[in-house]
Structure 1
Amino acid sequence: MGPDVIFGYNSNKFDMPYLVNRANAINTKLQLSKYGTPPEQSVYGHWSIIGRAHIDLYNFVEDMTDVKRKSLDYVAEYFGIMKRSERVNIPGHRIYQYWDDEGKRDLLVKYARDDVVSTLELGRRLLPYAMQLASVSGLPLDQVGPASVGARVEWMIMHEAYKMGELAPNRVERPYETYKGAIVLEPKPGVHRNIAVIDFSSMYPNIMLRYNISPDTLITNGAEGDYYTAPEVGFRFRKSPRGLYTVLLQELIEARREAKSEMGKYSEGSPEWVLLNERQRALKVMANAMYGYCGWLGARWYIKEVAESVTAWGRHLLKTAINMAKERGLSVIYGDTDSLFVTYNKDKVDELVGEINKMGFEVKIDKIYSKLIFTESKKRYIGLTVDGDIDIVGFEAVRGDWSELARSVQERVAELVLRSSVDEAVKYVRSVIDDLRNYRFTLDDVIIWKTLDKDVDEYKALQPHVIVAKRLIEKGYMIGKGDTVGFVIVKDGGDKLTQKAYPYIFVDDVKKIDVDYYIEKQVVPAALRILEVFGVNEAILLGKTG
């Protein structure tokens, strides 16, 4: 077998380094390349296999905001490849038990087969997009996934600069600096019904095109001629000729338009249609990433005034849209960068959308929520769409030290509040607390996973996961920067949390778990992030009210 493409899932960070280290440990040749050589670490953290394209699919899934859970079993289910209920699922930290127990090895084989099938089918779905992203950016197919968004854009710009006869600047280190960003309105906490989300399509790229914003069109002296002046900040940009950024953006937009037009010649789902669809998607992704590149300090073409002007025009545009909405009697519930949440009145909202489109900026109704709940924090809400889908925004990334139990509690509370009632959500949380107090849970439910972002000896503050790593090292485990450690909080050990944090593999009985910690510091806080909007407090969840 001599494949041209090898798919993996998190293979850059796990499979390849593990296989290389294991082969070295047992003095065996790992002959994966076409020339019988082992994988070698390359740029962007990628593991290169000479003569073959090694594609880590996880790199592409990482960019998909709609996919909330990134593990292979959830991703395969999301893409309709394999339902979680129809496959073997073994937690990664339990695999060794299935190997050690001969009676469980058949399950381990089935688990591995399900993973292989999921990875292969996921690769078949994502390969066309990866190919088009590589084509647009100019990066090799096997490197475009692990490359940062900034790196992808920069390679694309360098190719364009070469065509225009422009010399790419050298990369330089710059001191950290900030500039005023987008508008994010204070939300109106509570329950809102019948809310429309009005979204500006590619707001920042369109602003850059409209006002010819580019490093080479910025006027830095008193030069004469026609120019655009950015609101608030006052920076000026020549109206002509077109700049590097705007020429490239126009090419991306026109190429996307051509791809979408070509799609109409083929039946949906045909190989030609799929390839063109992925091409137009890659072109859109790269165009939308242009502004982010403007504000990246590591960019070769970084100029603060360029990024600052784009956000200034963005703020001006959103403020204009807010005033137009209010003039039509629409209540503005929330606003964030390029979207507005307003009370939905079909005629008034349609009129608003039409008027904004006349200004030269494309807007559309992105979603309509039948029920929407905001907390007091920005960028954090849950909503039930008119199609019956649930959106949970801003909660999943709040805490990096939550157990799986806490995460599942929050998701279930959100669903109950939106589909049923607050009382049902409170009842559910109380049942979870009761299960904890009576030890009706598994050890896997309460494991907390944290990644070491530096070597253990480099930490000055001894956080729980650092203490856990030290305990593992004392027992002979090799733990270092980049490793993820799993731990639980036990009853004994001391008064401080660090003293009670132990590697989960050292704990063999759930009755050793400090259930009070999980109730007070995990379950209750996770639930209250949503329920406190309704006046629910800790005492109510713990059943301490009279």
Structure 2
Amino acid sequence: MIRNFFILDVSYEVKNNSPLIYIWGIDQNNERVLLIEKSFKPYFYASFEGNKEKIIEEIRAISRQESPIESIETVMRKAPNNMNIDVLLIKTRIPTYVRIYRNLVTKIKGIKEVYEADIRFSMRYLIDNDLKPFSWIEAEVEEIGSNEGIRVNKIYELKKIISRYEDKRPDLRTLAFDIEVYTRYGYPNPRRDPLILIGLWTNQGGFQISSDDELKVFRSFVDFILKYDPDIIVGYNSNEFAWPYMLERAKTLGVRIEIGRKPEVEVSQGTYGHYSISGRLNVDLEGTLKLLSRNYIEDICKSAEYFNLSECKNKMLKWYEIRKYWDNVKEKDLVKEYNMEKVKLIYLLSQKILPISEQISEITGFPLDHLPAANITSSVEWLLIREAYKMQHLVPNKRDQDKEKNRSDVVVPPMPGIHENVYVLDITPIFISKILEYNISPDTLVNEECEVCKQVFNYRFRTEPKGIYPSVLSRLLGLSDRDRAISIILRTFLLYLRRMGSRWYNKEINELIDTLGKDIVSNIMKMLEGTDVKVIYADLTSVFLKGKAENVSELVRNINQLYRSNINIEKNYRKIIFLENNNAFIGLLENGKIEIFGLKRFRENLCNLARDLQDQVINSIFYSNNIKEVIKLIRTSIAKLKRGEYKVEDLAIWGVVDSFSNPKPPQVVAAEKANKSGYLVAKEY
């Protein structure tokens, strides 16, 4: 039979010593389904020199009965050095044995290099079949009668994929959750501190789970999810706190969190550090937001404010305040109100964040639940891996990041101080146009004289065939109606070219991007001569300009004419503060929002008092423009500090002792010594 399916996620399992690809999806009748692919086999490549027959014989000799080497064939592929070479395509049966065979094959005399042995089996299937999450397929399938307890409406064996297409997405069920923990002293410890409250929110409203019987809390949570049957589960900082805490706590209590669509499978940590739920997508919105926005947003209230959602009406409690309110009969409801407001905001945030994230997942083929935990450049790498498969290129192995230092992206250092009327230009389109114009790519770069090459500065690139970089960029630019997602990917693409650990990193291209960036900014500065506009900061993706709006607009027209590009004014700050000796800034946008960039680590290492004082100073500078008021505010705070008027928790900087690198601060050394001596380093509130 022929049916249409929307792809939500892909996983695999080994059953009866054979791998099964699971495609979790939704059919045209909005029913949740599972497609099972039984014929796909794991494989990798090996380049060689010398006697091919002898090498193949030695490879067959290392075959193991548990997962035999099923076939070895010779195929032609383009190597990372741009040469067409013969390689061995080695297929086995069990995906985990690919890495085992990689290590064994590498030791065989005559084997030069092993390729693509580190590509996850489910991703391998998506790439080889040109499938992407959040897209539709038309397929020939055969319905399987028994569902073996799998929590879907129907199960099919996939016989053949007929076509791939885009269409309106089905209505996905989204569930938001958040937890509260009762801790008497110190940081929450899942082996000691109980889970007292779970807040849940769906399109039907909010619900809370609480009981003196903690086992009942866990079981009610599992029952709720299985009954509602969400496609996407969202949290805020859930990969960092909620999931690891709940799993460890459940283990301590002897209860299992089996909430996936596959029975008897617990929530588990995945490749990138995310937490995987079979048949569902688990998304940490905080992690996703960090990837999608250059702006540093440090808590859920500020995230809600950034997206023009309702302000936090109730007091945002600190984790160490939960016990105090929970133990007070009159104030216990404050914890419940706090939890319910928080989980509602998480749900509302998901409605803002998920559409862009889903587009990025669909465009790049990178799973949605991987995005929050992975580096954003990982999505670009998977784009390139997909393109490499289409072009029959071997995917380069991961690089050692320690061989050379990453270059700075700064072209013009920031001008410290407070600036007004600042305009930001995104110059990424100029780089993209240059890559396309000169066919800039590692596989087109040549180091000798060339008759069919284009030269840009001191670097030459073959004009034909199209390189892997231009191929990917051409596909991206050919997409429509997804401008925001494409803009994020294009900016990330440029960052990927510069990242030392990237598979396609090339030193010469890195140097070229650096030279090109300096040349672009230099040309912009020449255009500004004789005008009131000044460059107050520039890096390889953005130029910050201070001056009159009409002069900046004229500059943009001149830039677009010179480079045949289509750059625009990305942002307009009423005021902006650049910090000295730090590529960081705080800006007040035209719409009244405050953006913080480059201060994440600095802000996280501040105590509550210092962070709150910094916020007050920023607000005073931006809104009242009264420097005397700022000075008075700081002096008053210092005086109160000297008089001991602040609580200890306002001055505490919380951190995991093991997370500090050497040399460790004296307070951390003292804490370690106290722990070794049997003293609990914690403060009871």
Give the TM-score taking structure 1 as reference length: 0.75
Once the two structures are superposed, the pairs formed by residues 326-405 of structure 1 within 5 Å of their partners are: 326-328=529-531, 330-359=533-562, 360-369=564-573, 371-374=575-578, 376-377=580-581, 379-384=583-588, 390-391=594-595, 393-394=597-598, 397-398=601-602, 400-405=604-609
Structure 2 vs 1, CA of residues 401 and 424 (structure 1 numbering), >3 Å: closer, same or farther? same
Distance in 1 between the 2:532 and 2:325 partners?
63
CA contact (8 A) 1:174 1:298 kept: yes
Task: Show CA shifts across 1:466-495 (max 9, x none).
Answer: 533554575576xxxxxxxxxxxxxxxxxx
Once the two structures are superposed, the pairs formed by residues 466-545 of structure 1 within 5 Å of their partners are: 466-468=669-671, 471=674, 503=682, 505=683
CA contact (8 A) 2:417 2:579 kept: yes
1:294 maps to which of 494, 497, 514: 497
Structure 1 residue 66, shift from structure 2 partner: 5.9
Distance in 2 between the 1:384 and 1:9 partners?
26
Structure 2 vs 1, CA of residues 452 and 340 (structure 1 numbering), >3 Å: closer, same or farther? same
Once the two structures are superposed, the pairs formed by residues 38-187 of structure 1 within 5 Å of their partners are: 38-65=266-293, 67-84=295-312, 86-173=313-400, 175-178=402-405, 181-187=408-414
CA contact (8 A) 2:297 2:596 kept: no
CA contact (8 A) 2:405 2:500 kept: no
Structure 2 vs 1, CA of residues 188 and 10 (structure 1 numbering), >3 Å: closer, same or farther? closer
Tell which structure's C-alpha radius of gyration is larger: 2
The one-letter code of the counterpart of 1:208 is I
| 2:479 equivalent to 1:252 | no
Once the two structures are superposed, the pairs formed by residues 192-271 of structure 1 within 5 Å of their partners are: 192-230=419-457, 234-255=458-479, 258-259=480-481
What residue number does 2:648 align with?
Answer: 443
Structure 1 residue 344, shift from structure 2 partner: 2.1
Distance in 2 between the 1:391 and 1:63 partners?
15
Structure 2 vs 1, CA of residues 337 and 378 (structure 1 numbering), >3 Å: closer, same or farther? farther
Distance in 2 between the 1:80 and 1:383 partners?
17
Tell me which stretches of 4 or more aligned residues in structure 1 moved more than 6 Å.
Answer: none
The one-letter code of the counterpart of 1:55 is V
CA contact (8 A) 1:200 1:361 kept: no
The one-letter code of the counterpart of 1:29 is R
2:236 maps to which of 1, 6, 9: 9
Structure 2 vs 1, CA of residues 82 and 38 (structure 1 numbering), >3 Å: closer, same or farther? farther
Structure 2 vs 1, CA of residues 148 and 115 (structure 1 numbering), >3 Å: closer, same or farther? same
Structure 2 vs 1, CA of residues 242 and 252 (structure 1 numbering), >3 Å: closer, same or farther? same
The one-letter code of the counterpart of 2:230 is P
The one-letter code of the counterpart of 1:185 is V
CA contact (8 A) 2:304 2:311 kept: yes
Structure 1 residue 424, shift from structure 2 partner: 1.3
What residue number does 1:414 align with?
Answer: 618
Distance in 2 between the 1:66 and 1:294 partners?
18
Structure 1 residue 381, shift from structure 2 partner: 4.5
More strand by share: 2
Q: Secondary structure at the match of 1:450?
A: coil
| 2:30 equivalent to 1:30 | no
Structure 1 residue 102, shift from structure 2 partner: 4.3
- The answer to which of 118-127 and 344-353 deviates more is 344-353
Structure 2: which 5+ runs fail to align? 1-226
Distance in 2 between the 1:37 and 1:162 partners?
32
CA contact (8 A) 2:439 2:467 kept: yes
Q: Secondary structure at the match of 1:156?
A: helix
Structure 2 vs 1, CA of residues 126 and 406 (structure 1 numbering), >3 Å: closer, same or farther? same
CA contact (8 A) 1:374 1:381 kept: yes
Distance in 2 between the 1:228 and 1:152 partners?
30
The one-letter code of the counterpart of 2:644 is Y
The one-letter code of the counterpart of 2:633 is Y
Structure 1 residue 159, shift from structure 2 partner: 1.1
Distance in 2 between the 1:200 and 1:444 partners?
44
2:245 maps to which of 18, 41, 49: 18
| 2:616 equivalent to 1:429 | no
Distance in 1 between the 2:667 and 2:414 partners?
35
Structure 2 vs 1, CA of residues 320 and 71 (structure 1 numbering), >3 Å: closer, same or farther? same
Distance in 2 between the 1:5 and 1:170 partners?
33
Task: Show CA shifts across 1:129-179 (max 9, x none).
Answer: 222222122122322332222321111111122122222123343542146
Give the TM-score taking structure 2 as reference length: 0.60
Task: Show CA shifts across 1:368-405 (max 9, x none).
Answer: 55555555435345555565555555556446532121
The one-letter code of the counterpart of 2:288 is F
The one-letter code of the counterpart of 2:352 is R
Q: Secondary structure at the match of 1:335?
A: strand
Q: Secondary structure at the match of 2:342?
A: helix
Task: Show CA shifts across 1:112-139 (max 9, x none).
Answer: 2222222222223322222222212212
Q: Secondary structure at the match of 1:227?
A: strand
Task: Show CA shifts across 1:298-354 (max 9, x none).
Answer: 222221112221121111111111111115464444434344444424454333222
Structure 2 vs 1, CA of residues 375 and 442 (structure 1 numbering), >3 Å: closer, same or farther? same
CA contact (8 A) 2:428 2:494 kept: no
Distance in 1 between the 2:307 and 2:591 partners?
19
Distance in 2 between the 1:198 and 1:4 partners?
39
Distance in 1 between the 2:587 and 2:247 partners?
46
Structure 1 residue 30, shift from structure 2 partner: 2.3
What residue number does 2:151 align with?
Answer: none
What residue number does 2:487 align with?
Answer: 284
What residue number does 1:523 align with?
Answer: none
Distance in 2 between the 1:226 and 1:159 partners?
26
Structure 1: which 5+ runs fail to align? 260-278, 478-501, 509-546
Distance in 2 between the 1:206 and 1:397 partners?
34
What residue number does 1:312 align with?
Answer: 515
Structure 2 vs 1, CA of residues 63 and 174 (structure 1 numbering), >3 Å: closer, same or farther? closer
2:524 maps to which of 316, 321, 325: 321
Distance in 1 between the 2:466 and 2:546 partners?
40
Structure 2 vs 1, CA of residues 441 and 229 (structure 1 numbering), >3 Å: closer, same or farther? same
CA contact (8 A) 1:88 1:114 kept: no
What residue number does 1:515 align with?
Answer: none
The one-letter code of the counterpart of 2:642 is R
Structure 1 residue 293, shift from structure 2 partner: 1.6
* Number of matched pairs: 455
Structure 2 vs 1, CA of residues 295 and 197 (structure 1 numbering), >3 Å: closer, same or farther? closer
Distance in 2 between the 1:123 and 1:370 partners?
29
- The answer to which of 389-398 and 399-408 deviates more is 389-398
Q: Secondary structure at the match of 1:449?
A: coil
Task: Show CA shifts across 1:270-323 (max 9, x none).
Answer: xxxxxxxxx432222122211222222222222111222112111111111111
Distance in 1 between the 2:673 and 2:430 partners?
48
Structure 1 residue 197, shift from structure 2 partner: 4.0
Structure 2 vs 1, CA of residues 119 and 395 (structure 1 numbering), >3 Å: closer, same or farther? closer
More helix by share: 1
Distance in 1 between the 2:531 and 2:601 partners?
36
